[in-house]
Amino acid sequence: MLHMQSLAKVYRTEMVETYALRNFNLEVKAGEFVAVTGPSGSGKTTFLTIAGLLEAFSGGRYELDGVDVSAMDDDARSRIRNQKIGFIFQAFNLIPDLNVLDNIEVPLRYRGMGAAERKKRATEALARVGLSARAKHYPAELSGGQQQRVAIARALAGEPKLLLADEPTGNLDSSMARSVMDLLEELHRDGATIVMVTHDMQLAARAQRNVHVIDGQVVDLAAELRMDPALLQGQSQAVQMP
């Protein structure tokens, strides 16, 4: 489903050049639930942003659902993004002035889907996350856990090939976090492909597979820790320009 080979992402400012990702290799197969962990600044969000076709990368190759997206321009990338990817963010990112059902319909509007089909898909997605009774509520009338479930319904409504979650329980207390994780596990059992970025190792342990990132690279965590137990504290490298 997702195949990254020798991917690189360099951020350049006047003073420094930061390799957020370097020689980044990862393959996620259809139906997998993968958690990506790593210390602050290791490149997790950069990886997710590129995986979700929100940003271009500096080198290497990325294949999504069998399509090489490496050389695509912004328009082509956003078309594929709208069709194939569902996002779940830490901050939910619901629109406060729209009710729950209308929020779920937003990405379907971007696809140019007709009103009747949008409503049908949004209603089904809301039922999927167990919140049918809240269709007409506004985000502020819901708990954090319920808002995240709505955001998951919004991600699901487009029937994406790949669900990308960035710290999906980061803004939730532990019982709400558990229920959101229960939902992700359930979606995975039903066949969804999920890649979740988190710094929470306990949460990550509930995924099917863990991938650890240090200094912009996927590492074999067990082997690295045997060599240097302090590695978990590592930061990404900022290289001074000459």
Question: What residues numbered 72-111 form the site for ligand ATP, per CB under 6 A?
Answer: none
Closest contact distance (angstroms) between CB of 68 and ligand ATP is 23
Name residues whose C-beta falls within 8 Å of residue 155's C-beta, 6 or more positions apart in sequence: 86, 87, 88, 107, 163
Q: Which of 239, 242, 194, 240 is nearest to 20 (CA)?
A: 239
* Ramachandran category for residue 169: left, alpha or beta (phi over 0 → left; psi -120 to 50 → alpha): alpha
Q: What letter does residue 173 receive in the DSSP assignment?
A: -
d(Cα 55, Cα 51) in Å, to the nearest integer? 8
CB of 19 to ligand ATP, least distance (A): 8
- Asked if 12 and 67 count as a contact pair (C-beta separation under 8 A), the reply is no
Given the complex with ligand ATP, which of 46 and 146 has the nearer CB atom? 46
What does the per-residue mask of binding to ligand ATP show for 21-50, with x meaning CB under 6 A?
-----------------x-xxxxxxx----
CA–centroid distance for 134 within its chain:
25
**Residues 139-168: x/- map of binding to ligand ATP (CB under 6 A)?**
------------------------------
For strands 2-12 and 67-68, give the pairing. unpaired
Can you say how many angstroms the Cα of residue 112 is from the centroid of all Cα atoms in its chain? 23
Q: How far is the CB of 214 from ligand ATP (least distance, A)?
A: 10
CB nearer ligand ATP, residue 162 or residue 213: 213
Per-residue string for binding with ligand ATP, 171-190, x by CB under 6 A?
--------------------
From the CB of 203, what's the least distance to ligand ATP, in Å?
13
Contact in structure between 93 and 147 (CB atoms under 8 Å): no
State the nearest-atom distance from the C-beta of 182 to ligand ATP, in Å.
24
The nearest distance, CB 132 to ligand ATP, in angstroms, is 34
The site for ligand ATP (CB under 6 A) is made up of: 11, 18, 20, 38, 40-46, 199, 236
